[in-house]
């Protein structure tokens, strides 16, 4: 157990951040999954804007790395452009 007040607070903060990051990461994964299921090009293009924005925001907040965000955005853009 922590001996310092600051260490106790740090544990509390890190637990809250862990839960928040887990929620954001799960939401992101669901959004990517939903986009990959789409078959309509116009709808997918609209969703791609939202997902790209979400990925950028999460990479800025270090929930995911910027390379992962870039790779996902690239693959999703290719998928959305291939739709007929």
Residue 21 confidence (pLDDT): 95
The total number of structural domains in the chain stands at 1
pLDDT digits (tens, 9 = 90+) for 5-63: 999 999 999 999 999 999 999 999 999 999 999 999 999 999 999 999 999 999 999 99
Q: CA 84 to CA 81: how far, in whole Å?
A: 8
Task: Identify the domain containing residue 52 by its residue range.
Answer: 5-82
The single-letter DSSP state of residue 62 is T
Quick check: 49 and 43 in contact, CB under 8 A? no
Quick check: 35 and 51 in contact, CB under 8 A? yes
Q: CA 34 to CA 78: how far, in whole Å?
A: 15
Residue 2 confidence (pLDDT): 77
Q: CA 56 to CA 70: how far, in whole Å?
A: 8
**Confidence at 84, pLDDT banded by 50, 70, 90:** confident
CATH number of the domain where residue 42 is located: 1.20.58.110
């Amino acid at each position: 157990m922590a001996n310092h007040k600051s260490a106790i607070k740090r544990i509390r903060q890190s637990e809250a951040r862990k839960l928040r990051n887990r929620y954001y990461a799960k939401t992101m994964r669901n959004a990517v999954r939903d986009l990959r299921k789409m078959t309509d090009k116009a709808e997918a293009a609209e969703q791609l804007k939202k997902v790209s924005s979400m990925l950028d925001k999460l990479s800025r907040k270090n929930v995911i790395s910027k390379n992962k965000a870039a790779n996902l955005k690239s693959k999703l853009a290719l998928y959305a452009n291939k739709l007929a």
